Structures are given as structure tokens and as C-alpha cells.
Homo-oligomer: A and B are copies of this chain.
Amino acid sequence: MRRALDAARAAALAGEVPVGAVVIHDGKAIATSANAPRTLHDPTAHAEMLAIREAARILGRERLEDCDLWVTLEPCAMCAGAIAHARIARLYYGASDPKGGAVEHGPRFFAQPTCHHRPELYSGIGEDEAGALLRDFFRERRA
């Protein structure tokens, strides 16, 4: 999660909502990404999406059933869907997101009968720091 938080900080410096994600395979971080929709002109470029795509590219396959994903914020519906499509084994996330989250809020995607893969879920890891990064970012933008 340390590495994901560093990526979130890098996102903030680039003017992006500070969220970071890391894919772990065989105990190694093979893809680390910062949220970047504005920078990349890509509405799908959330940290989780970029990390999953990079990991799949590196491993040369569309399924990551032997990989874990660490992300600083509760995934949205788009990212939760991608996590299921990728067959991620374990999902670790930091702050919960009542406004846009889709794991414990709104669609609660992994609990839906139309969800074809549910990762093991671990939440609240590093949530104080992840949440503080987001609060500071939005406070500065409003100032």
C-alpha cells in the first residue's frame, strides 16, 4: 500500500484526483499506476484500470487470477467490473468512497448475481493516509 499511496501523491502533483494502484504477482509489484484521466484524455484511466492493463500486457494474458490489486480508494463500478473480468485474486483497498464506490456502496457489484468473479476483499488498509490525500486535494482546489 505504501507504493500505491506514493502513486496517489504523484497523481495529486499532476492535478489528478489522488488515487494509486499496484498489481502484485509472485510477491512482486509488476504494475504501479496513478489516476490519470485528464492527463491522458481518457475517461477510463483510473489507477486500477491502468495497473490491470499494464499487468495483463506484461504477463501476456487477459486473466490475472494469480495477482492481487492494492488501491488507495474503494473502486468504482467501472474498476470493480474490470477487477472481476481480470479475475484478480485479492483486492486490498484504503479509504471507502460513499459517493462513487461500488464495493460497499451503490451497486455493491461483487454481491450481484451478474458478477462472475468475486475477489477476496480487504478494506481500510492505509485509509487514514489515503483519505487525507483526497481531502487535502479537494480542499486546495476549492481554495
Contacts and interface: CB of A to CB of B under 8 A. Distances in A.
Overall SS of chain A's interface: loop
A113 B106 CA distance: 6
A108 B49 CA distance: 21
Given A100-B116, A102-B107, A107-B112, A62 B82 contact: no
A52 B41 CA distance: 11
B109 A114 contact: no
B41 A60 contact: yes
Copies of this chain assembled into the complex: 2
A85 B41 contact: no
Interface in A1-59: 37-38, 40-45, 49, 52-53, 56-57, 59
A43 B57 contact: no
B41 A57 contact: yes
Contact of A43 (B56, B76, B77): B56
Interface of A: 37-38, 40-45, 49, 52-53, 56-57, 59-64, 76-82, 84-87, 98-102, 105-109, 112-116
